[in-house]
Structure 1
Amino acid sequence: MTCRIVSYNILAPILANRPEHYFKCQLEYLQIDHQWNLIQSHLEQEIMQNENTIICLQELTLTILPKFELFFRRMNYTFFHNLYGERRKDYMGVGMAIPYSIQLNSISIIKIGDHIRSMSKAFEKQTNLFTWKWDFYQLVKSKLIEVVSDPWETAMNRTNTLICVQITINNKSIYIGTYHMPCLYKEPDVMLIHASMVKDLMFQLAGGQDFILAGDFNIKPWDLCYKLLTEKDYVGCNMPESSSYEISYRSNTELVLKSAYREKNGAEPMYTNFSHTPPSPNFCATLDYIFFNGSLTVEKVLELPDHPSGDSYPDETHPSDHLMIAATFRL
């Protein structure tokens, strides 16, 4: 028995419809109707051509949510989602769809920032003359010098949410999770905290059973976060210190993940994200992954191109600046 895991950052319509940002894209390819027709076609093909297809979505937003609700109802799927983003980003979040035919045992929806906060305790302040002088000094200092933020505080304040379900297929229990990592390239410590926390949380939720974790992790295969997720006892991984909190969490460096594409092809895809924008001209890199742990075997993966065509995604055949990725697992 197999299951097919599809992961797709669909590109939020509110982010796509910015001609000044995707200035190398034709205007018609940035419209929601064009986006939706292609997304629907891609997903329907995956569902019809594979058994037990589970869909993981990132950059799901309020505007396009009703279309997905109707689509998955028509395809006989149960659809779960959590929209956690800011209003200006149309409450962007994540979603997961499971066929009615698959037994659904449990659902966990966890805000990683809140999970981090549950393992943190703020340092107690001693109120005396010295601390008053110290607080005054810090206040003056903050006005004159750019103060470096506490990465743990930043990590706690992120609302990114993990959706994890436990399902049974042919008497085989398995956990499936999806996550969209905070895109904070200038604050790598925050991404390191979230990557480690999500990994360890999936191991905790699965409780020794097989699991799959798919999504847009905003990390490249050579980044520190990728090594933390995939290399046992990686020596270069040290959690940052906190200036404000006592952190009880310790990253479990013995628990690591395998990547479906690397297991099957010997390497990660050449790219899963391609766009030309003012902040990142000609950006082309792998950011999306299907990680797993346990006795699962990767039978096949969705074939991806070696290099992009055109000047930038979205285009005539790509509704998002991300490629859809997929893997079939033998349970």
Structure 2
Amino acid sequence: MLFARCLAELPSESCKVCPGRSLRCRGRGCSWAGGGPERGPAAVPGTALRLVSAGGFAAIASTTRRRAALRHCRTACKGDATSDVRVVTYNVLSPTLCSARRFPHCKEQDLLESVRWPRLVTQLDAALAETTPTVFCLQEVDELWASKLHAHFQRRGWHFAYAMTPLTYFPPIGVALAFPGDLELEELLMVRPAAQLKLAPPRSPSTRWQRFKDWILDHTVRNHTDSDEGAAWTLAARKQNRLLAAKLKVKSGSSFVVATYHMPCLFDEPLQRQAKAIHAALLREALMLHFPEEQSLVLAGDFNTKPEDSELQVLTEGALSESDVAWPTALTDQGLDFAQWEAGSLQLRSAYAQQGGELEYTNYAWIEESRVLGGAWKWSPKRTFLSIRLHHFSGILREVVPYRWLNIRGDTAS
């Protein structure tokens, strides 16, 4: 999923690849050129970076759990003096999570790391071969693949940054950014948004066995209990997910921010959606704190959320109704109340919506319910929105489907 802020003015002529469709900002409002509907207000940055769309093909990855799409970004309108940057967001699916138990409908051979890694490298090299500078936003990168990816990019003169999320999986997984050497790195940010929650220190388990029992309860019974007062805040505070962001400068002198995040794996239960809404608010605060509003920004990642869910409205607009199921109950003794939260002026727009519409469900996962709750296997949707079309594939890192290009373009310095 991709979000963008501060789209500066685009050429008034329609895109030469997709006639009649170009995105244009006029003053503080964005609209589709060629008679499209108004998109509402959006802040205009001091730097002239632009997001446009085109069409084409690329090889992408897909499984019954994740149809992670390698979305290339390419220049749509030629001939004007611009500096172009492509953005690719890709959930690579850590080998530690790629097992026959989790993917009973996949061929066992397609689950092997020895098979998947060469396929991943093939996809990355195809994007690396493009002449347009590219920024990769990767999710579910474990420590082993992080080291291999680092070496792979470094051999090609690229920079690689990795932010690990500890105490969530074993081995831990995280998010990564990669970008070429001709993009100047002005600032790199690795931060845990949930660290902003000022909860009283929890009781420290005295033994390793007690810590292990608490971890089991956190991932089973406590994740399925009713929403007691403050439970959502406590759950959100436990999550270790990291935000990784880079402020980059193109040769023309324009700067922009690319950030990636993997939202906690919390889904449809009210308590979990409330914790996710809290994380969305904390993510907004982290972006506003570290990157001033006049800067252009693209946020990409796996948000484990449907486009219509209100948690995304918290992230993009800072708005949520008190009657919404995702509204967290206040934690009064800690002074945490969603009603007192200041949303700020940050306005993000879904790049999918800007490019013609949000995506449909792209995958499903087999999830084993807690034995404590007497459950068994169930077929449950695990939503990611990294692919562009709904397909059912049995392979991993093997299929080719249509995709949309996303392009950030910066004007040359005047």
TM over 0.5: yes
Q: CA–CA distance in 1 between the matches of 2:349 and 2:245?
A: 18
How far residue 50 of structure 1 moved from its aligned partner, in angstroms, is 5.1
Q: CA–CA distance in 2 between the matches of 1:97 and 1:221?
A: 26
How far residue 324 of structure 1 moved from its aligned partner, in angstroms, is 9.5
Farther off after superposition, 29-38 or 82-91: 82-91
Residue segments in structure 2 that go unaligned for 5+ positions in a row: 1-82, 202-224, 369-376
Report SS of the residue matched to 1:247.
Answer: coil
Q: CA–CA distance in 1 between the matches of 2:288 and 2:148?
A: 33
Deviation string 1:146-193 (CA, Å, 9 cap, x unpaired) is 883622222122110001111111211111111000011231111000
The corresponding residue for 1:14 is 96
Structure 1 letter corresponding to 2:291 = A
The answer to whether the aligner puts 1:157 opposite 2:246 as a matched pair is no
Structure 1 letter corresponding to 2:185 = L
The corresponding residue for 1:126 is none
- Structure of higher RCO (CA pairs closer than 8 Å, 6+ residues apart): 2
How far residue 282 of structure 1 moved from its aligned partner, in angstroms, is 7.1
Structure 2 letter corresponding to 1:171 = G
Farther off after superposition, 225-234 or 29-38: 225-234
Root-mean-square deviation (Å): 3.0
The corresponding residue for 1:258 is 349
Structure 2 letter corresponding to 1:200 = E
The answer to whether the aligner puts 1:329 opposite 2:372 as a matched pair is no
Count of residues in correspondence between the two structures: 285
The answer to whether the aligner puts 1:288 opposite 2:288 as a matched pair is no
Asked whether the 8 Å contact 1:60–1:94 carries over to 2, the reply is: yes
Deviation string 1:262-288 (CA, Å, 9 cap, x unpaired) is 1012x1123444545665537474x23
Asked whether the 8 Å contact 2:193–2:243 carries over to 1, the reply is: yes
The answer to whether the aligner puts 1:242 opposite 2:331 as a matched pair is yes
Q: What does 1:181-192 align with in structure 2 at a 5 Å threshold?
A: 181-185=263-267, 186=269, 187-192=272-277
Structure 2 letter corresponding to 1:109 = M
What is the aligned-residue identity percentage?
22
Structure 1 letter corresponding to 2:286 = L
Q: CA–CA distance in 1 between the matches of 2:318 and 2:380?
A: 33
Q: 1:235 to 1:50 in 2, by over 3 A?
A: farther
Higher helix fraction (1 or 2): 1
The corresponding residue for 1:115 is 196
Report SS of the residue matched to 1:89.
Answer: coil
Report SS of the residue matched to 1:114.
Answer: helix
The corresponding residue for 1:220 is 306
Q: 1:205 to 1:288 in 2, by over 3 A?
A: farther
The answer to whether the aligner puts 1:54 opposite 2:54 as a matched pair is no
Asked whether the 8 Å contact 2:168–2:240 carries over to 1, the reply is: no
Q: CA–CA distance in 2 between the matches of 1:102 and 1:26?
A: 40
Q: 1:147 to 1:167 in 2, by over 3 A?
A: closer
The corresponding residue for 2:374 is none
How far residue 318 of structure 1 moved from its aligned partner, in angstroms, is 5.5
Asked whether the 8 Å contact 2:158–2:178 carries over to 1, the reply is: yes
Q: 1:68 to 1:211 in 2, by over 3 A?
A: same
Q: 1:9 to 1:280 in 2, by over 3 A?
A: farther
Asked whether the 8 Å contact 1:6–1:55 carries over to 2, the reply is: yes
